[in-house]
Copies of this chain bind each other. A is one copy, B any other.
Amino acid sequence: MGDVKLEHVSKHYDDVTAVDDMNLEINDGEFICLVGPSGCGKSTTMEMIAGLTIPSEGKVFIGDREVTNLPPKDRGVAMVFQNIALFPHMDVYDNISFGLRLRNYDKEEIDRRVERASEIVQLGGMLERMPDEMSGGQRQRVAIARAIVRNPDVFLMDEPLANLDAKLRVHMRTELQRLHKELDTTIVYVTHDQAEAMTMSDRIAVIDSGQLQQIDPPLVCYNEPANLFVAGFIGSPSMNFLDGEITENGFVSTNIDVEFDPANVGVEVGRDVTMGIRPEDVYLVQNERQVANPTHRIEATTDVLEPMGDEIFVYLKLAEEAHADLEEASVAANDQLLMSVSPDSDIEEDRDVEVVLDRTRVHLFDTETGIALSHGIESTIQASGPADAEAESDD
């Protein structure tokens, strides 16, 4: 019914390729988040699923029908638009009930549904307002209500919560999840909010420059990013990257060395690699005991502190390790490391500290191609194995 498939779909504008040979299979009832940098082709992908944009190449399937050239109304999709697109000449009630009225639902049914949808988005009592009499967030909620009053096979939501405050977002998030469970509808969801993507979706599709980079359950994307792009994109603040080289002793760079047996992790010696480590996997030596398998201690100086309330981001300047044999090229920006600590930690700016990394959380990428070589360098003690992840992503 509601499964969506894109087969070699591309969309070219005059001089821009918005979507580039995209293959995407979304199962019936699945909740998929599309994430990626601004302008990477998320909205275009949605529009092609909705039928608003006809692909330059490739085919689109919904259910078992090819719908590539089918008009939107016959595709059984509902959509929340990034630009909201309320009908300015209709009040909230008419905006929300538009699709139902088109389908000649009877008055009571419409009333009932509009009422429910407007409660979900907390717009009760505003049904008679015109769009230009509402705040940005209220408009966005109308747009959401307009989509959810219907019972489509597929929901397409393009940044539906962008204009809402944190509290309402959390509320809407749970409501959407409840709706998803209740209706068992496929949802394709674009968001730039990591928390949303992580908590709501069954799988996340990471897109860059119109190309699909990885599509996997959120934690797999987080813990085992397929490549440098995904690793850098997922997670906020971003993963730390250090360029270096594989030697017989493990990873060597201008500032950090990490010892391991290259054979164990299956990376040949001499390769240029980039090591990745997330801020929360960097620990002060005081907290070393929290880490089962730490690296050797790394000396650093704290630079800026960014208190966030529930955590503090600490920018570290790394001391240089002595590796005259490393080429100049790969040295750049290698001396910074971001670390997150809990707000009650006893830390100040401009102090010398020692940190350790969680070896199980160290990622290695091929510097040239960006492809992930290894997640965790002591393969035996990994938190969630890639085997599990693959199993999950198969269903």
Contacts and interface: CB of A to CB of B under 8 A. Distances in A.
Nearest to A135: B39
A308 B193 CA distance: 12
A211 interface: no
Interface residues of A, number: 64
A141 to B, nearest CB: 7
A82 B136 contact: yes
A225 B113 CA distance: 38
For this chain, the copies found in one complex come to 2
Contact of A43 (B135, B168, B223): B135
A307 B233 contact: no
B38 A163 contact: yes
Contact of A135 (B38, B133, B342, B344): B38
A236 interface: yes
B383 A344 contact: yes
Contact of A310 (B39, B278, B344, B383): B278
A237 B43 CA distance: 28
Contacts of A358: 344
A321 B216 CA distance: 43
Interface of A: 13, 16, 35-39, 42-44, 82-83, 133-138, 140-141, 158-159, 162-170, 192-195, 198-199, 218-219, 222-223, 232-238, 278-280, 290, 306-311, 340, 342-344, 358, 383
B192 A164 contact: yes
Contacts of A140: 38
A192 B169 contact: yes
Given A162-B162, A162-B163, A163-B82, A134 B39 contact: yes
